[in-house]
Amino acid sequence: MGARTLEWSLERLEELDSVAMASIVESDGSVPAKVGARMAISSSGLTHGTVGGAGLEMKVEDRLRDMLEGGRGGVETFVLSKENEGASTTNLNSLCGGRVIVAFEKLEPSPHLLLMGGGHVAQAISEACRLLGWSYSVFDERKEFVSKSKFPDAKELIFLQADQFLELENPESLGRFSDILLLGHDWSIDERLLVGFLTMEGSELPRIGCIGSKTKWRAFVKSAKSAGASVQKIDDVRCPIGVPIDAVTVEEIAFSVCSEIISIMRSDR
């Protein structure tokens, strides 16, 4: 059962959910579950596994939900007895008389970047993703720029016109990506994609970043407002993307872009 809960947790991470997981790491006496039992809750509200039910499970579930809201992990000792053994243990007011030690940890998903435009910058970012253990997918209107030879580790290679892609996607389906990075060779393609994303009806979008100058961004903002995009959605877009390190080479740009994403991830915790 514990192994299946671990597998389930990894699947939820693939879907970009955070997961809080409890594992029984030590037990003795009469207890509802033994070492190896696990219980996990995802940030989308799904639950898997058990640590034995009853009062223990209620306590564990409360702590897991607290961790998803920003609480800390750690190790806690639970005593299934009417008499508490001390401040370092949690009493469950039970007649079983056993003891379990539970480890609590929060698992965070790795980013999955959608690189929209398969040029030199996208290739450099894909190399950075490989080093960081991140996932990435690539979109381009040009077939030769979404090849397996250019992006051997891509989860998805998307060869479509911008309008076709927008017709197929919605905020829910785009939720498989943590970040959408507009890196196109043609400003008009980036603009169509950006306006399309910002005018989608539905749930929250992934983080969106756009490469380019402040002048380019002002033009994009004007187009997005004219199309009916909300000011809040527009303000959430990062342009120009990347930490301001005066990057010049594509490798430096990739470094600055990934550094910005790391900084955002850390600040959200």
Q: Dump the DSSP string for 85-104.
A: --TTEEE---SS--EEEEEE
- Low-confidence winner among 17-21, 28-32, 185-189, 201-205 (lowest mean pLDDT): 28-32
pLDDT at 84: 59
Mean pLDDT estimate for the chain: 90
pLDDT of residue 260: 96
Q: What is the pLDDT of residue 74?
A: 94
pLDDT over 70 for what percent of the chain?
93
Query: Given pLDDT bands bounded at 50, 70 and 90, which one contains residue 179?
Result: very high
The pLDDT > 90 percentage for the chain reads: 74
Q: Which residue has the higher pLDDT, 264 or 268?
A: 264
Query: What is the predicted pLDDT for the residue at 249?
Result: 94
pLDDT at 155 over 60: yes
The pLDDT, as a whole number, for residue 95 is 56
32 and 51 in contact (C-beta within 8 Å)?
A: yes
State residue 91's pLDDT score: 63
If phi over 0 gives left and psi between -120 and 50 gives alpha, with beta otherwise, what is residue 126? alpha
pLDDT in tens, 82-112: 665 555 566 665 656 678 889 999 999 999 9
Q: Which of 245, 248, 267 is nearest to 256 (CA)?
A: 245
Kindly list the structural domains of the chain, giving each domain's residue range(s) and its CATH number in brackets, ordered by start.
Answer: 2-107 (no CATH), 112-268 (3.40.50.720)
pLDDT tens readout for residues 42-58? 999 999 999 887 778 88
- The C-alpha atoms of residue 181 and residue 184 are separated, in whole angstroms, by 9
pLDDT bracket for residue 146 (50, 70, 90): very high
Query: At a CB cut-off of 8 Å and minimum separation 6, what does 200 contact?
Result: 170, 171
Identify the band that residue 268 occupies on the pLDDT scale cut at 50, 70 and 90. low
